[in-house]
Amino acid sequence: MLVFWEQKLVFLATPKTGSTAIATALESQASVSIQRPPVLKHTTVHRFRRYFGPYLEAAAKADWTVVALIREPCDWLGSWYRFRSREDQTDAAKSTRGLSFDTFVQAWCGDPRPAFADVGSQERFLRPRQGQGVTRLFRYEEMDLFTRFLQDRLGQSITLPRVNVSPPGALQLAPATEARLREVAAADFQLYHRLIHPDCS
């Protein structure tokens, strides 16, 4: 999470949407940068609006713009799968080494999820339990639009480095698995789809 006091701007770090690269590029410009532990770095919209947001608004006596990114849901899970296949994954229960992406997605669709597939969901991260959500939501696949937005708000040129990149891996899904994913992650797909077609219901 990054807080830019003068610009009254907050960036919430949806996991696996380039947040480490954004923090690397902009941490020195932020008034507040929370990069660890992960539970604070990846503060959800609900927790921000309940705890951090009211304090910032009271301290600044102003409204804040809250922004975040969302990634195509299948690609997002693919990033998690590849990230957890790294050789330096120290928790064997969370490792996906030796597993296919199809197996990972089937496990993510299960209830309960095993540790290696227990990575939450973007829609839950971005969902306010009551009241306001994010002010603006951008697609990870259109990072150039988000970068231009930041450049306009911060008044500076921004170049994002390549950091925390997941290793390569095959991301094929059986038709039945993909159909199950679209059922279980329907809210994620709907939220993402609305950014492409904002007039859809």
pLDDT at 72: 97
Tens digits of residue pLDDT in 35-84 = 999 999 999 999 999 999 999 999 999 999 999 999 999 999 999 999 99
Residue 199 reports pLDDT greater than 90: no
Residue 201 counted as domain residue: no
Residue 32 counted as domain residue = yes
Residue 139: its H or E element: strand 136-139
Residue range 90-94: mean pLDDT, rounded? 90
pTM metric for this prediction: 0.92
Tell me which residue range forms the domain holding 77: 2-196
Structural domain contains residue 173: yes
pLDDT digits (tens, 9 = 90+) for 121-142: 999 999 998 888 999 999 999 9
DSSP state letters, 66-129 = EEEEE--HHHHHHHHHHHTT-TT---GGG--TT--HHHHHHHHTSSSPPGGG----HHHHH--S
CATH code of the domain containing 138: 3.40.50.300
Asked whether residue 134 is assigned to any structural domain, the reply reads yes
